[in-house]
């Protein structure tokens, strides 16, 4: 990926943010699409796995890719994402590799971040956001805030997800606003239950209220978020459901789409 990125830069190809359709500013989907326990619930029992993505893309126009977090994708992998999207006006958000966020914890990772950023150039109009998820043990300090922002490529659409409540503070919000960095709002156990807007885009991850990944959101709970989204006046909304247990993510993503006026 490093050599491919260097060659791409030498060729003079643009690193501008992909242009999104002005009429498609609401992006609601799931965190991942390949779950064996969705067979028979979301995917027809007799549908071969090679057709699962097509089934998903026929119902949602975006997905949050979690696989790149565990394994650094190759150029060939990214090209396969483009092929599977086909003619669909489909957008991927890409979770950044744990080598950057969990192992190195965004220390001395500027080159790695640039290398990973090649994914956006390859995906072009299929590219959504880069999601940097940091571990719960990563608490707020002024030095860490400066380190994070110093490692990012601000030509990209960067989303930072914190898992410790110390990051929910105005020093962080103001620093993010200055750099156009998107603060990830989280619906998750023991995390502040509020929508934070630090850029024209807002980004929300739904993990569960009392338990991670297995909460079935009620219409009332989703309506609270729908009202927050409307009041934010954000230009672009990214919302992904990570409560994959029992297929709740699918049901809840559809419900939120309807509540914010973007039926699937």
108: tokens are 């001395």
| pLDDT tens-place string over residues 163-222 | 999 999 999 999 999 999 999 999 999 999 999 999 999 999 999 998 898 899 999 999
d(CA 109, CA 89): 32
- Residue 21: pLDDT band with limits 50, 70, 90: very low
d(CA 131, CA 139): 18
With contact defined as beta carbons under 8 Å apart, do 32 and 52 qualify? no
Give the lowest-confidence range in 15-19, 62-66, 156-160, 250-254.
15-19
- What pLDDT was estimated at residue 16? 47
Domains of the chain in start order, with CATH, are: 28-259 (3.20.20.410)
Evaluate if residue 22 carries a pLDDT over 90: no
Evaluate if residue 23 carries a pLDDT over 60: no
d(CA 3, CA 232): 41
With contact defined as beta carbons under 8 Å apart, do 235 and 25 qualify? yes
- What pLDDT was estimated at residue 211? 87
Evaluate if residue 162 carries a pLDDT over 80: yes
> In 3-state terms, the chain is what percent helix, strand and coil (to 5)?
40, 15, 40
- What pLDDT was estimated at residue 105? 98
- What pLDDT was estimated at residue 87? 84
- What pLDDT was estimated at residue 261? 83
Q: Please, what is the average pLDDT of the chain? A: 92
Evaluate if residue 24 carries a pLDDT over 50: no
Question: Which residue matches tokens 């999207």?
Answer: 85
Evaluate if residue 18 carries a pLDDT over 60: no
With contact defined as beta carbons under 8 Å apart, do 128 and 93 qualify? yes
Evaluate if residue 19 carries a pLDDT over 70: no
34: tokens are 């390949």
Instruction: Please give the model's pTM, rounded to 2 decimal places.
Output: 0.92
d(CA 217, CA 220): 8
Region 6-13: mean pLDDT is 67
Q: Sign (positive/negative) of CA torsion 115, 94, 132, 146?
A: positive
- What pLDDT was estimated at residue 2? 66
């Amino acid at each position: 990926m490093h050599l491919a990125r260097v060659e791409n830069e030498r060729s003079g190809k643009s690193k501008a943010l992909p242009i999104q359709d002005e009429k498609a500013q609401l992006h609601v989907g799931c965190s991942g699409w390949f779950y064996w326990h969705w067979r028979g619930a979301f995917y027809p029992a007799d549908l071969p796995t090679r057709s699962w993505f097509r089934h998903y893309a026929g119902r949602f126009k975006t997905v949050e890719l979690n696989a790149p977090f565990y394994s650094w994708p190759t150029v060939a992998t990214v090209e396969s994402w483009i092929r599977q999207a086909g003619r669909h006006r489909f957008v991927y958000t890409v979770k950044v590799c744990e080598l950057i966020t969990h192992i190195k914890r965004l220390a001395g990772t500027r080159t790695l971040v640039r290398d990973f950023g090649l994914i956006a150039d390859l995906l072009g109009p299929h590219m959504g956001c880069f999601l940097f998820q940091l571990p719960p043990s990563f608490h707020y300090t002024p030095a860490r805030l400066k380190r994070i922002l110093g490692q990012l490529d601000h030509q990209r659409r960067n989303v930072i997800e914190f898992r410790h409540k110390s990051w929910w503070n105005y020093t962080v919000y103001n620093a993010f606003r200055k750099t156009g960095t998107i603060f990830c709002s989280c619906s998750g156990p023991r995390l502040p239950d509020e929508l934070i807007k630090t850029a024209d885009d807002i980004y929300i991850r739904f993990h569960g209220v009392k338990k991670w990944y297995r909460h079935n959101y009620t219409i009332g709970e989703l309506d609270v978020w729908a009202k927050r989204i409307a009041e934010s006046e954000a230009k672009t909304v990214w919302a992904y459901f990570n409560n994959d247990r029992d297929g709740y993510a699918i049901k809840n993503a559809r419900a939120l789409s309807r509540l914010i006026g973007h039926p699937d």
